[in-house]
Copies of this chain bind each other. A is one copy, B any other.
Amino acid sequence: MAKNIKSRAEDYAQWYLDVIKAAQLADYAPVRGCMVIRPEGFALWEAIQRDLDRRFKDTGHVNAYFPLLIPLNFLAKEAQHVEGFAMECAVVTHHRLENDGKSGLAPVGKLEEPFVIRPTSETVIGHMYAQWIQSYRDLPVLINQWCNVMRWELRTRLFLRTTEFLWQEGHTAHETAQEAQEETLRMLDVYAAFAEEFLALPVVKGPKTESEKFPGAITTYGIEAMMQDGKALQAGTSHNLGQNFAKAFDIKFLGRDQKQQHVWTTSWGVSTRLIGALIMAHSDDDGLVLPPRVAPVVMAIVPIFKSDADRAKVAAFIDVAIRTLVGEEEFAAAAKRQQSEVVSYFFDRATEQKIVVDWRDNRPGDKQFHWEQRGVPFRMEVGPRDVDAGSVVIKRRFDRAKESVETSKLTPGHLRTELADVQRLMFQKAIEHRQANTHRVDSYDALRATLAEKGGFVRCYFHPDRQAEAKIKEETKATVRVMPFDAQGQTGKCMYTGKDGAPEVIFAVAY
């Protein structure tokens, strides 16, 4: 079989794209910078949505849908906001097409006022909240939206930065500044727990500096993860918007004190770039490696046979195993489904995780390779000799461990335990990788040297300052990713200015 994936050591950027291609997660679309999320990749997004949506609802949120198009004058209402997004907006100017007399079509029906495709929805949601909120009794408003957004990015990379991407954006309105702050931190915690428990992705939580905050926010908090090359990836942000948007859109309510006042709002979001994080944090030179909780297929069974008799023998064995693993009801339901030669059974209907049996004509080695590249946590080969021996070999994708399992022990409970073990081990490995690549410095020289020689996260005391940060970025490519909560408010001498009382920050080169 052809080696279709460059190694990480050879070319990390190309490795990333090769992993995506080999696992058929996504393709570039025929629209500049946009992607097509293929079924294997979209199943990851569905798993993410399912888990996160439950966490949002468990914290009292509900979903809604706001329009794709935003009137230009809405964007203009919040000064920082328009500055942050005006450079990268797709603009709708016409509402009809006409034959252009040659062989093509031309836009006609010019709109009186153009619209932008939402780069984010604070403005249009603010406009609606102003109509919905009258009294303190209408608060809090705790709404989330799952949707597509568009930012006309210059440099794009599948999942990490695309012109169109999918995301969720939470938008809440509160009676007091304190409640808004509590909500901002609550959702940061939700993101962090989700990243660690579900994606097996350790994250550092904390506020961003002024120069890294969301256009229009008072404070932006982020969760920052380390990729295998030591670079940082911002995996989610939660913004305290104060009264900025409330004032821009005149979202007022009659308070308990009988006075009209502006609400306090928050917004928070994660996007399909999480799939990029998932790939870069866990995959290896053989392709995708998925944490079990995210994996659309938890086990791939590859039958091995030469003769028809062997095939029948192996098939009978696999049928029994599948009935044990997924239950009689699902076994019968699968038979009624349209199927390819790769037969799918739901192992867990709630999470839609499947077990597949690969009956294609290809060579067993090719089929092993196929499922390996897709990151399936467990693969099981079944040949006639395994049937005779009454045991099968199960290969673990994450660390290539092999386990011989007696047929009688191949139960749903056994598989669940194995999956939970891998989830834990993958998180542990990511933690260890981050520890090994986190450094501490106390001077700018040391920061530069560490970033240049070792990369990773570099912790130091630093007084955030827009100009200093710009200069450091220019010289090192690194930015302040986060002022970590885990520093517990400790301060020290600023590594850049030498002034005391500087908070701890993490510098890193970021995706």
Interface residues of A (CB under 8 A from B): 27, 29-31, 34-39, 41-43, 45-46, 57-76, 82, 86-98, 103-105, 107, 109, 114-117, 124, 127-128, 131, 137, 140, 142-143, 147-148, 150, 152, 164, 166, 183, 186, 333, 337-341, 344, 350, 352, 360
The answer to whether B63 and A30 touch across the interface, beta carbons within 8 angstroms, is: no
CB distance from A115 to the nearest CB of B (A): 6
CA distance A315 to B38 in the complex (A): 51
CB distance from A299 to the nearest CB of B (A): 18
The answer to whether B88 and A95 touch across the interface, beta carbons within 8 angstroms, is: yes
The answer to whether B107 and A96 touch across the interface, beta carbons within 8 angstroms, is: no
List the number of copies, as a whole number.
2
CA distance A142 to B43 in the complex (A): 14
Contact partner of A90 (CB less than 8 A), chosen from B70, B72, B92, B147, is: B92
The answer to whether B76 and A62 touch across the interface, beta carbons within 8 angstroms, is: no
CA distance A82 to B338 in the complex (A): 32
Q: Would A86 and B96 be within 8 Å (CB), given that A59-B337, A65-B36 are in contact? A: yes
CA distance A440 to B82 in the complex (A): 61
CB distance from A354 to the nearest CB of B (A): 10
Residues of B within 8 Å of A115, CB to CB, are 31, 90
Residues of B within 8 Å of A140, CB to CB, are 338, 340
The answer to whether B43 and A62 touch across the interface, beta carbons within 8 angstroms, is: yes
The answer to whether B95 and A152 touch across the interface, beta carbons within 8 angstroms, is: yes
Q: Would A124 and B29 be within 8 Å (CB), given that A43-B63, A62-B43, A96-B88 are in contact? A: yes
Residues of B within 8 Å of A107, CB to CB, are 91, 93, 114
> What are 9 of the A-B contact pairs (CB < 8 Å)?
A30-B67, A30-B71, A39-B63, A39-B64, A69-B90, A73-B105, A91-B97, A93-B93, A117-B117
CA distance A142 to B38 in the complex (A): 12
Residues of B within 8 Å of A69, CB to CB, are 31, 34, 90, 164
CA distance A224 to B411 in the complex (A): 47
The answer to whether A91 and B89 touch across the interface, beta carbons within 8 angstroms, is: no
CA distance A324 to B62 in the complex (A): 25
The answer to whether B86 and A104 touch across the interface, beta carbons within 8 angstroms, is: no
The answer to whether B96 and A152 touch across the interface, beta carbons within 8 angstroms, is: yes
Contact partner of A64 (CB less than 8 A), chosen from B42, B63, B339, is: B42
Interface secondary structure of A, over-half rule: mixed
Residues of B within 8 Å of A76, CB to CB, are 103-105
CA distance A97 to B140 in the complex (A): 34
Residues of B within 8 Å of A143, CB to CB, are 39
Residues of B within 8 Å of A338, CB to CB, are 59-61, 140, 142, 183, 186
The answer to whether A46 and B64 touch across the interface, beta carbons within 8 angstroms, is: no
The answer to whether B92 and A91 touch across the interface, beta carbons within 8 angstroms, is: yes
Residues of B within 8 Å of A339, CB to CB, are 60
Chain B's closest residue to A150 (CB) is: B68
Of A65, A104, A339, most B-chain CB atoms within 10 Å:
A65
The answer to whether A89 and B98 touch across the interface, beta carbons within 8 angstroms, is: no
CA distance A233 to B137 in the complex (A): 39
Beyond A68-B148, A72-B104, A91-B107, 14 additional pairs, beta carbon < 8 A: A27-B131, A30-B74, A36-B128, A39-B62, A60-B338, A65-B166, A72-B97, A87-B97, A90-B94, A91-B97, A92-B92, A94-B114, A96-B152, A147-B148
CB distance from A289 to the nearest CB of B (A): 21
Q: Would A105 and B82 be within 8 Å (CB), given that A36-B67, A58-B337, A67-B31 are in contact? A: yes
Residues of B within 8 Å of A131, CB to CB, are 27
The answer to whether B337 and A60 touch across the interface, beta carbons within 8 angstroms, is: yes
CB distance from A163 to the nearest CB of B (A): 8
Contact partner of A95 (CB less than 8 A), chosen from B70, B90, B164, is: B90
Contact partner of A97 (CB less than 8 A), chosen from B36, B43, B75, B350, is: B75
The answer to whether B91 and A31 touch across the interface, beta carbons within 8 angstroms, is: no
The answer to whether B29 and A66 touch across the interface, beta carbons within 8 angstroms, is: yes
CB distance from A90 to the nearest CB of B (A): 5
Residues of B within 8 Å of A39, CB to CB, are 62-64, 143
Contact partner of A29 (CB less than 8 A), chosen from B46, B62, B67, B97, is: B67
Chain B's closest residue to A72 (CB) is: B105
The answer to whether B75 and A105 touch across the interface, beta carbons within 8 angstroms, is: yes
Chain B's closest residue to A141 (CB) is: B39
CA distance A117 to B92 in the complex (A): 9
Residues of B within 8 Å of A34, CB to CB, are 67-69
Q: Would A97 and B104 be within 8 Å (CB), given that A63-B46, A117-B68 are in contact? A: no
